[in-house]
Amino acid sequence: MDATPPATGKSSTGLDENLAAAMCYVAGFITGAAFLLIERDSRFVRFHALQSTVTFLGVAVLHLVVNVVPILGALLSVFVIFPATVVLWLILIVKAYRGERFKLPVVGDFVEQQLR
Protein backbone atom coordinates (compact mmCIF):
# COMPACT_ATOMS: atom_id res chain seq x y z
CA MET A 1 0.00 0.00 0.00
CA ASP A 2 1.35 3.43 -0.86
CA ALA A 3 0.92 6.77 0.89
CA THR A 4 -1.64 8.10 -1.60
CA PRO A 5 -4.40 10.00 0.23
CA PRO A 6 -7.88 8.46 0.17
CA ALA A 7 -10.03 9.19 -2.86
CA THR A 8 -12.51 12.00 -2.27
CA GLY A 9 -13.45 13.33 -5.70
CA LYS A 10 -15.78 12.40 -8.51
CA SER A 11 -14.91 10.10 -11.38
CA SER A 12 -15.78 10.85 -14.99
CA THR A 13 -18.75 8.48 -14.56
CA GLY A 14 -20.35 10.97 -12.16
CA LEU A 15 -19.94 8.58 -9.22
CA ASP A 16 -17.76 9.28 -6.21
CA GLU A 17 -14.31 7.81 -6.82
CA ASN A 18 -14.57 5.40 -3.90
CA LEU A 19 -17.93 4.03 -5.06
CA ALA A 20 -16.77 3.66 -8.67
CA ALA A 21 -13.57 1.92 -7.50
CA ALA A 22 -15.56 -0.52 -5.33
CA MET A 23 -17.91 -1.22 -8.24
CA CYS A 24 -14.90 -2.24 -10.34
CA TYR A 25 -14.73 -5.43 -8.26
CA VAL A 26 -18.45 -6.29 -7.99
CA ALA A 27 -18.58 -8.67 -10.98
CA GLY A 28 -14.86 -9.38 -11.13
CA PHE A 29 -13.10 -8.82 -14.42
CA ILE A 30 -16.38 -7.87 -16.16
CA THR A 31 -16.97 -4.69 -14.14
CA GLY A 32 -13.23 -4.06 -14.04
CA ALA A 33 -13.05 -4.07 -17.83
CA ALA A 34 -16.21 -1.96 -18.11
CA PHE A 35 -14.83 0.74 -15.81
CA LEU A 36 -11.49 0.58 -17.57
CA LEU A 37 -13.29 1.42 -20.81
CA ILE A 38 -15.55 4.18 -19.48
CA GLU A 39 -13.40 5.93 -16.86
CA ARG A 40 -11.31 8.71 -18.41
CA ASP A 41 -10.11 10.93 -15.57
CA SER A 42 -9.67 9.20 -12.23
CA ARG A 43 -6.35 7.38 -11.85
CA PHE A 44 -7.74 5.89 -8.64
CA VAL A 45 -10.70 4.28 -10.41
CA ARG A 46 -8.57 3.19 -13.38
CA PHE A 47 -6.09 1.55 -10.96
CA HIS A 48 -8.84 -0.48 -9.31
CA ALA A 49 -10.48 -1.30 -12.65
CA LEU A 50 -7.26 -2.72 -14.09
CA GLN A 51 -6.37 -4.50 -10.85
CA SER A 52 -9.82 -6.13 -10.84
CA THR A 53 -9.52 -7.15 -14.48
CA VAL A 54 -6.05 -8.68 -14.14
CA THR A 55 -6.73 -10.35 -10.79
CA PHE A 56 -10.04 -11.98 -11.63
CA LEU A 57 -9.04 -13.00 -15.14
CA GLY A 58 -6.09 -14.72 -13.50
CA VAL A 59 -8.39 -16.45 -11.03
CA ALA A 60 -10.67 -17.60 -13.87
CA VAL A 61 -7.69 -19.06 -15.74
CA LEU A 62 -6.48 -20.74 -12.53
CA HIS A 63 -9.92 -22.36 -12.10
CA LEU A 64 -9.82 -23.68 -15.66
CA VAL A 65 -6.30 -25.07 -15.29
CA VAL A 66 -6.95 -26.70 -11.91
CA ASN A 67 -10.20 -28.28 -13.08
CA VAL A 68 -8.31 -30.22 -15.75
CA VAL A 69 -7.27 -32.64 -12.99
CA PRO A 70 -10.48 -34.65 -12.43
CA ILE A 71 -11.09 -35.13 -8.69
CA LEU A 72 -8.22 -33.25 -7.06
CA GLY A 73 -8.85 -30.22 -9.27
CA ALA A 74 -12.49 -30.02 -8.28
CA LEU A 75 -11.63 -30.36 -4.59
CA LEU A 76 -8.96 -27.66 -4.81
CA SER A 77 -11.30 -25.40 -6.71
CA VAL A 78 -14.22 -25.77 -4.30
CA PHE A 79 -12.40 -25.90 -0.96
CA VAL A 80 -9.35 -23.67 -1.53
CA ILE A 81 -9.50 -21.42 -4.57
CA PHE A 82 -13.17 -20.40 -4.36
CA PRO A 83 -13.14 -19.43 -0.65
CA ALA A 84 -9.83 -17.57 -1.04
CA THR A 85 -11.24 -15.72 -4.04
CA VAL A 86 -14.35 -14.67 -2.13
CA VAL A 87 -12.26 -13.36 0.78
CA LEU A 88 -9.96 -11.46 -1.62
CA TRP A 89 -12.98 -10.08 -3.49
CA LEU A 90 -14.56 -8.76 -0.27
CA ILE A 91 -11.29 -7.21 0.93
CA LEU A 92 -10.76 -5.43 -2.40
CA ILE A 93 -14.31 -4.05 -2.45
CA VAL A 94 -14.07 -2.75 1.12
CA LYS A 95 -10.60 -1.23 0.64
CA ALA A 96 -11.67 0.52 -2.57
CA TYR A 97 -14.87 1.82 -0.97
CA ARG A 98 -12.84 3.22 1.93
CA GLY A 99 -10.82 5.16 -0.63
CA GLU A 100 -7.64 3.13 -0.17
CA ARG A 101 -5.31 2.36 -3.05
CA PHE A 102 -4.76 -1.21 -1.86
CA LYS A 103 -2.15 -2.78 -4.09
CA LEU A 104 -1.92 -6.57 -4.43
CA PRO A 105 1.69 -7.87 -4.32
CA VAL A 106 2.38 -8.88 -7.93
CA VAL A 107 -0.68 -7.63 -9.75
CA GLY A 108 -0.53 -4.16 -8.18
CA ASP A 109 3.00 -3.50 -9.45
CA PHE A 110 2.02 -4.65 -12.95
CA VAL A 111 -1.07 -2.42 -12.89
CA GLU A 112 0.91 0.64 -11.80
CA GLN A 113 3.39 0.11 -14.64
CA GLN A 114 0.56 -0.15 -17.16
CA LEU A 115 -1.12 3.05 -15.99
CA ARG A 116 1.97 5.29 -16.26
The domains of the chain are located at: 17-98
Give residue 42's pLDDT: 96
User: What's the rounded mean pLDDT across residues 42-65?
Assistant: 97
pLDDT at 13: 94
Q: Is the Cα dihedral 83, 85, 87, 93 positive or negative? A: negative
* pLDDT band (50, 70, 90) for residue 112: very high
The Cα–Cα gap between 76 and 67 comes to 8
Residue-wise pLDDT tens digits, 23-41? 999 999 999 999 999 999 9
Give the per-residue pLDDT at 2: 54
Tell me the pLDDT band of 5, cut-offs 50, 70 and 90: low
